Chain A
Amino acid sequence: MRRYATLAALALGPVLVLAVFFVVPVVGMVGRGFVVDGGLDVGGVLEVLGRERTHRVLWFTVWSAAVATVVSVLLGLPAAYALHRLAFPGRRVVRALLLVPFVLPTVVVGVAFRLLLGEAGPLGGLGLDGTPVAIVAGLVFFNVAVVIRAVGAAWESLDARPGEAAAALGASPAQVFRTVTLPALRPAIVSAASVVFLFCATSYGVVLTLGGLRYSSVETEIYLLTTQLLDLRAAAALSVLQLLAVTALLVVAGRLRAVPDPTLARQLARPRRPRGADGVQVGLTLLVLALVAAPLVTLLVGSLRADDAWSLDNYRALDRVGQGSALLVPASDALVTSLRTAVDATWMSLLLGGLIAVVVSRRSATRGERRLRSTLDGFFMLPLGVSAVTLGFGFLLTLGRPPLALLDSPLVPIAQALVALPLVVRTLVPVLTGLDDRQRQAAASLGAGPLRTFATVDLPAVRRPLIAAAGFAFAVSLGEFGATSFLARSEHPTLPVVIFRLIGSPEPEAFGTALAASVVLAAATAAVVLAVDRLGGRSFGAL
């Protein structure tokens, strides 16, 4: 019983938060679709699920997200290796840059991609604009960093000795990878892949912008049904479908993640210099870099052009407010607001995510307990898999009145923390699960209390992943994410809000200014992530 009490106590806070800010709004919104004239109408919902259009939309969602996930993993693995196990100058900068896509508003990324791939763009000859290839490329652009960061964090603390032993016994590098490294990394890879899949399956702007409106996913369909047509029944049907699919995915991922002995001998391998044998990995890493950098370079170049000449005018315009300017506040003010919101969202998601990770990763004594822990694990992944518009409208519906009159409180950081939460959990859990429980028992038998055990055994192990997670959470919150666009904004606009306004303005200079503001947002993110990474690196080295 004591075990359950501890588990419940640790999980109580996060569960409450998720219940209020996720379960209640989603249930409220989906419920509206099921209840017609005061009675439950399941038949109507089933009818929607039988439509030919529903099947087509579902099929497109599944295959585009699956392909994007596979590509992200295939490109992300070698990059994770190169960026986390090899030592070369500038690797921290590259790691920080790879997180930049996370913070850019989709509308900006859409514009950047289309400037590149559109008929008049440098890659226009490829004819990719408006094709599924462009959609997948966009999804990979956003998500490859998830694989690199999450798997990289696990790879970094992977003991190199078993691999070296296998090599000494005559195994080829490929054999070592297949029989030693890959199995050890499997939990992290499956974790990252499931998060990426959920992000891809629920992405909205990428599908519409890069697909030229020719493709519909479940998410774009729910959006259309809810915001334009107010066909709540059909929207609810699709939301339920989404929830079921996500649950199924999480169950499968849970199975795949489970390994007979998750214990990893944790031994931080020193990054070494690249050798000739690393050529393939380094080459693929460069490819990833090119994919991520190309749209960013497009933005940078665009921001430096004004009146058909190179100039810094767009950057000078960032602080000009008033006549003839689409800016409502100087961009610097908006940046400060963004950073403050992101800091709030980051510590919230780290705190909640940390608690969940601890609960989920503890070894269970009974089967029931194990089931309980893995259910909790899946529960916190759900926000990633549910339509932002369902959640956003649900907020309005359920949080606007007592007993939960919370609409006037600043919900934006909380909503962002909820999105970042699964990333935090998925980054921490593989490492915590990999800890040998005997270390904790040893500490305890030497007289350490539970807190001290945690501080001396768990904490050092998760410090690096924690920093990786903090970078994620921060980047996620700096960007504007789905559900937050349905929440009332504070009077102080964030930088993404400013960019959104600039890009929609007919003022002739506004477009260039929007690109400049995006570059500032990207640079600020990279700088903060880099600083956090450095901080982490140094203190770890001192251990």
Chain B
Amino acid sequence: MLDTLIDRIRAAHEKNTPLIIQGGGSKRFYGNADEGEVLSTRKLTGVIDYQPKELVLTARAGTPLAEIEALLDAQNQMLAFEPPHFVPLPNPLPLAGEGANDALCAPKPIYATLGGSIAAGLSGPRRPYAGAARDFVLGVRMIDGTGQPLRFGGQVIKNVAGYDVSRLMVGALGTLGLLTEVSLKVLPKPATEATLQFELDEAAAILKMNQWAGQPLPLSATSWHAGLLTVRLSGAASAVRVAQVRLGGEILNDAAVFWQRLRDLATPFFDKCPPTSNQILWRLAVKPTTPPLNLGDAQWIEWGGAVRWLARDLPVNILREAARNAGGHATLFRGGMPTAIHDGVFTPLAPAMLTLHRNLKQRFDPKGIFNHGRLYPDF
């Protein structure tokens, strides 16, 4: 399988054929539109090594995320960055007050793979408290744009030999090479989790999220939407119980479904027809203490205040400026009309940074065959 991929990439390099790297197809909506022949990793599957005592798992890029998570689950371990799957739940339960019209939403044959999750670099609700996808990557095997197989990092937790090319691949959206194998640090699952809800306005909720994060509390996720602050606690049963008593609030049943749907952006707020409607969704990453942005009611806050989702269309310059003033950046996450945004769905880079990006792209993929334009329109 690997040889086939290498041959195809070499041929594409020779002939300047653009390729689109695709795994399970769950994140096709993400990034700018790209064109080319599909280079599928679907057959590049299998867990190569998993040592629960070493907290390290290595698998081929096309391995379904669900398969990896099931394997970890059996050892009471997990991917702590809670990667999104963006696939329909087997039996979606409507959340209180909402109701996805499941009858209208035909299931799609898509799933998330390990390689796609790492290439997209997306993380779920646990991210501010446990770390991001990039924080758990220990090593990769990849094929660059000339068809050269390469190996960076390794399977040990501490490793500072050479530049950290493994982490450079996280979030590069495949523009620097095809990931063929990834080694990740995994963590034990918390013994207990409990989810609490509080009726609070937006400003008060943002303040609470930040104040609590500065205290020794076993926080593992936070969310605010429509006047409701939702907080997850994870840890030893006794620790969760004590924190629960201290914080108060109402216990949310079915919390696992709540967080899973937030992870996959699969509530009607995000998506009336999960997982692939064309509903506009902006993601503003900001300094977590940023006060309410006053960009309208259609908003969902998570990551301790560091991410503000907007489910409405606003002029791109207004959103980019609001995010920049708040120390961050704005992404048209889903449902974009690419023609309306000439410089792409991601915040444009400053000139010196753009030059470095082009230089790096040129070194890893000299003919620009991988996912051309997916990250930034000109490479």
Report whether chain A binds chain B: no
Chain B residues with a Cβ under 8 A of chain A: none
Spell out A's residues near B (CB within 8 Å): none
